[in-house]
Each structure stands twice: as C-alpha cells, then as structure tokens.
C-alpha cells in the first residue's frame, strides 16, 4: 500500500521532527511515488512541475540516506539558476535541521571566496549551478569523490540553457556507483539522452504533468487588441483587488515599459529581467517578498525558480511561444495547496499559441471580460471568481 503521509515512511525521528515543524504531513503525488524508490537507492526520473513538492521528493530521501558523521560532500544537487539553487538549499537545510545535515548553495554572482571558505567546513550537501560548481572543482576546493547521491533539478531548463556539457563533466567526476535522480517538467529527447547515458535502470515516475495544482487554480483569458492590453491589465489589478502578483512579459523591453507605465499609474511595482544586476534583482525580489512591492513585472528567465509565498495572481501580459512555459509561469501561484488565479491577455496574433496551451491542459480556461464598468453600459462588473 502506498504511503499517504511522511509518517508512513521509514524516516528517522530527527528528519520527521524537521518535516513536522514545517507542517509537512500528507504526501503530494510526486512525493508519494518518488520517495520510496529513492530510499531504496534506485535511480529515478520524475516528471514534475515547479510547485508540486518535488524538492521534498528528492530532498527527504537524500537526507535520510546520508551520514552526518562522515566528512566530505555526499550529496550534490544541480540547478539551472541561482534563485532555484538558493531555494532548494534553504528547503534542504530546513528538512535536515535536526538530522545535523549541513547544506551549502554555490552559484555565480556572489563572492567565490566566501563559498570557498564555507567548503572548508563540514558540508554534506552542495546545491549549485553547473558553472560555479565546475569553477570550484577546477580550483581544487570542491571534491566529488565521496558523492553518493546526485540530483538534476529542472533538467529540461538546465539543458535548454546550454549546460549539457557542464552537466556531463560534473557527472563524469562523480563515482560510478552513485545514485542519480532527475526531475524535469518535460521529458524530451535531450533529457532522455542524459538519463540513458548516466542512469542505471531508472524508475520512471511520470505522475506530474501534474496540472500544476490546477485544482486549486482558477484560469482565465481575454482576447484583446494589443493596444488595449495595458488598460485591461490596470482594470484587472483594480477591480480584482490584486494583493500580490507577477506579470509576465516576453521581452526585457516590454518588461521595463510596462513596469514604468504602471509606476506612473501609482502601482507599487518593479521590473526584473536578465539585464538587471544580481544585486538589483535580489533587492526587487526581497521588496516583493516583504510587501514593499505588490507587483513584479518579469521575463521568464528572471522569474525562474522563484518560490514566494502569498502570490495570489499570475498575469500573462504576453502569451509565451512555448506552451510549457505557460505552466511554469502559473506555477508561481497555487503552491503547496493554496489557491491562485491566472489571467492571460491574448491578442489576435497570439491565438494560435494560446490554443496550443489550451490543448495541453484538461482543466478549463474560462474567457472573461476585462473592460472597465464605465464602458459596459452600467452592467455589473464580471467577477473573475
């Protein structure tokens, strides 16, 4: 019989104490399917979207299987972005708080000397981006000879960003008898190439096209002329009393332009995209987390890996070209069982791309009217709920 909660799993009291402190009880689908084979030492391929509990799916068994009394790096987690590496490391530290497992995130954009100094301590798990991991390896301060478990997180994104050679180099430097798991929102030919080359009879857990917790998510769209998008966006934000939202644009230029226009309208908003320095992005994200900002306007690259509590709305100002990106975007809300709303503004030239998105999901995306009530002949404003 499949385990229903973390208490049903063969986990140490120390690990259960940390999970209980975080309020973890019932298992999400990817956790229910992946944790048991990982505890048994098997290689696993897990198809799971961001926001479905996959960090605990690979993190809990890793902490359970590592020995805090052994010196040296025993666990290695590769992530595509700095933000995801920090998020995963933070979660792993919380899971392993009472198990005395020490976790270190390593990534570019921050002093390498600080990370070199930290590696001199007794670190059990390193979570990092491929480039910084290789840099530390080549400096002779990060040694992977004692690694027992490797996880590739968001593998599709990591490979899309051009990290294939780096990932292969890192895997080549780890012991052949390691346990390897890979988690990815999509399982394409490139991902399968890595699986076939570096994994041993992996168990495939494909529970999660997972609809990204869409049972807790309301999805809406409106078809509108491109010139009317900004006014429609402002109407949504005002009429729906949006508390905390990310607005996605396709390009850096549009991200900055929309943010500036919103700021002039009095919204507490900031843009983030890859053209900003890491310090600027960190400051904006921190302001958003703490409530100094209620809105972020972001490109997909800048928002990748963000895990911020309390996001009530995702608004797609532009329809993404690649349908899976839509699901990555809306996965920023309705996380960990909470409710959320996703609204997409579709211009007539984007209908074809949006229809591809609708074809990929079994859930309904409902059409709405975003006009201001003064333009509707005094008819009631259509609620988004």
Instruction: Give whole-number Cα distances, 151 to 108, 137, 188, 304, 355, in Å.
Output: 19, 18, 18, 18, 34
* pLDDT surpasses 80 at 32: yes
Instruction: Give whole-number Cα distances, 34 to 28, 153, 234, 239, in Å.
Output: 10, 14, 43, 42
191 near 210, Cβ under 8 Å? no
Q: How many domains does the chain have?
A: 2
What three-state secondary structure class fits 289? helix
One domain, residues 85 and 112: yes
pLDDT band at 337 (very low <50, low <70, confident <90, very high): low
What three-state secondary structure class fits 241? coil
pLDDT band at 371 (very low <50, low <70, confident <90, very high): low
In a domain, 288, yes or no: yes
The pLDDT, as a whole number, for residue 230 is 96
The mean pLDDT value of the chain amounts to 87
The pLDDT, as a whole number, for residue 379 is 33
In a domain, 1, yes or no: no
In a domain, 384, yes or no: no
Q: Rounded to whole angstroms, how far apart are CA atoms 306 and 121? A: 28
The pLDDT, as a whole number, for residue 335 is 62
One domain, residues 168 and 226: no
Could you tell me which residue, 53 or 59, shows the higher pLDDT?
Answer: 59
One domain, residues 281 and 343: yes
Query: Within 13 Å and on the Cβ side, how many CA atoms surround 86?
Result: 14
Query: Within 13 Å and on the Cβ side, how many CA atoms surround 81?
Result: 19
The pLDDT, as a whole number, for residue 50 is 65
One domain, residues 242 and 191: no
One domain, residues 13 and 118: yes
The pLDDT, as a whole number, for residue 220 is 93
Q: Rounded to whole angstroms, how far apart are CA atoms 195 and 189? A: 10
Q: What is the mean pLDDT of residues 253-281?
A: 91
Could you tell me which residue, 357 or 55, shows the higher pLDDT?
Answer: 55
The pLDDT, as a whole number, for residue 287 is 93
One domain, residues 264 and 163: no
Q: Kindly provide the residue ranges of all beta strands, DSSP E only, lying in the chain, ordered along the sequence.
A: 44-47, 75-78, 103-106, 125-128, 149-153, 179-184, 203-205, 217-223, 245-248, 269-272, 295-298, 313-316, 340-346, 365-367
In a domain, 154, yes or no: yes
- From 205, 237, 255, give the residue that closes a domain: 205
One domain, residues 14 and 101: yes
* pLDDT surpasses 80 at 212: no
What three-state secondary structure class fits 119? helix
In a domain, 26, yes or no: yes
In a domain, 385, yes or no: no
**In which domain, by residue range, is 277 found?**
211-375
Sign of the CA dihedral with 188 first, then 193, 199, and 202 last: positive
- From 150, 175, 205, give the residue that closes a domain: 205
One domain, residues 195 and 222: no
pLDDT band at 22 (very low <50, low <70, confident <90, very high): confident
User: Biggest alpha carbon distance in the chain?
Assistant: 73
Q: Rounded to whole angstroms, how far apart are CA atoms 115 and 133? A: 10
* pLDDT surpasses 70 at 168: yes
One domain, residues 339 and 319: yes
One domain, residues 108 and 220: no
One domain, residues 51 and 148: yes
* pLDDT surpasses 50 at 380: no
* pLDDT surpasses 70 at 118: yes
pLDDT band at 213 (very low <50, low <70, confident <90, very high): very low
pLDDT band at 326 (very low <50, low <70, confident <90, very high): confident
The pLDDT, as a whole number, for residue 338 is 65
| CATH code of the domain covering residue 216 | 3.40.50.300
* pLDDT surpasses 50 at 272: yes
Place of tokens 């346990």: 179
**DSSP code for 244:** S
Q: Which of 102-106, 117-121, 192-196, 238-242 has the highest mean pLDDT?
A: 102-106
In a domain, 108, yes or no: yes
The pLDDT, as a whole number, for residue 177 is 95
One domain, residues 269 and 163: no
- From 205, 225, 242, give the residue that closes a domain: 205
In a domain, 144, yes or no: yes
54 near 213, Cβ under 8 Å? no
Residues 6+ apart with CB under 8 A from 39: 9, 10, 61, 64, 65
Q: What is the mean pLDDT of residues 26-38?
A: 89
Q: Is 357 exposed, middle or buried (0-12, 13-18, 19+ CB in 10 A)?
A: buried
How do residues 193-210 score in pLDDT, each as one tens digit?
Answer: 999 999 999 998 875 444
Share of the chain above pLDDT 70, in %: 88
pLDDT band at 178 (very low <50, low <70, confident <90, very high): very high
């Amino acid at each position: 019989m499949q385990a229903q909660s973390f208490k049903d799993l063969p986990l140490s009291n120390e690990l259960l104490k940390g999970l209980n402190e975080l309020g973890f009880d019932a298992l999400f689908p990817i956790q229910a399917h992946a944790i048991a084979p990982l505890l048994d030492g098997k290689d696993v391929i897990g198809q799971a979207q961001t926001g479905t509990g996959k960090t605990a799916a690979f993190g809990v068994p890793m902490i359970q299987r590592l020995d805090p009394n052994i010196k040296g790096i025993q666990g290695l987690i590769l992530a595509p972005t700095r933000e995801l590496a920090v998020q995963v490391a933070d979660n792993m530290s919380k899971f392993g708080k009472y198990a005395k497992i020490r976790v270190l995130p390593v990534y570019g954009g921050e002093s390498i000397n600080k990370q070199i100094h930290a590696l001199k301590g007794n670190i059990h798990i390193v979570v990092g981006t491929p480039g910084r991991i290789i840099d530390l390896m080549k400096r002779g301060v990060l040694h992977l000879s004692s690694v027992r478990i490797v996880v590739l997180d968001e593998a599709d994104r990591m490979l899309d960003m051009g990290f294939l050679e780096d990932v292969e180099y890192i895997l080549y430097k780890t012991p052949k008898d390691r346990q390897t798991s890979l988690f990815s929102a999509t399982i394409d030919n490139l991902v399968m190439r890595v699986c076939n080359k570096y994994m041993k009879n992996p168990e495939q857990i494909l529970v999660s096209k997972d609809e990204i917790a869409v049972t807790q998510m309301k999805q809406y769209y409106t078809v509108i002329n491109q010139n009317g998008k900004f006014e429609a966006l402002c109407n949504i934000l005002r009429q729906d009393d949006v508390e905390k939202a990310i607005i996605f644009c396709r390009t850096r230029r549009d991200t900055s332009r929309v943010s500036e226009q919103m700021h002039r309208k009095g919204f507490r908003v900031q843009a983030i995209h890859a053209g900003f320095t890491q310090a600027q992005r960190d400051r904006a994200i921190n302001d958003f987390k703490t409530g100094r900002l209620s809105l972020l306007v972001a490109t997909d690259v800048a928002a990748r890996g963000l895990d911020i509590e309390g996001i009530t709305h995702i608004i797609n100002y532009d329809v993404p070209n690649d349908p899976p990106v839509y699901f990555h975007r809306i996965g920023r809300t309705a996380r960990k069982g909470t409710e959320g709303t996703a609204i997409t503004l579709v211009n007539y030239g984007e209908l074809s791309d949006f229809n591809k998105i609708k074809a990929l999901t079994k859930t309904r995306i409902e059409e709405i009217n975003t006009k201001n009530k003064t333009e509707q002949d005094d008819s009631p404003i259509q609620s988004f709920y």
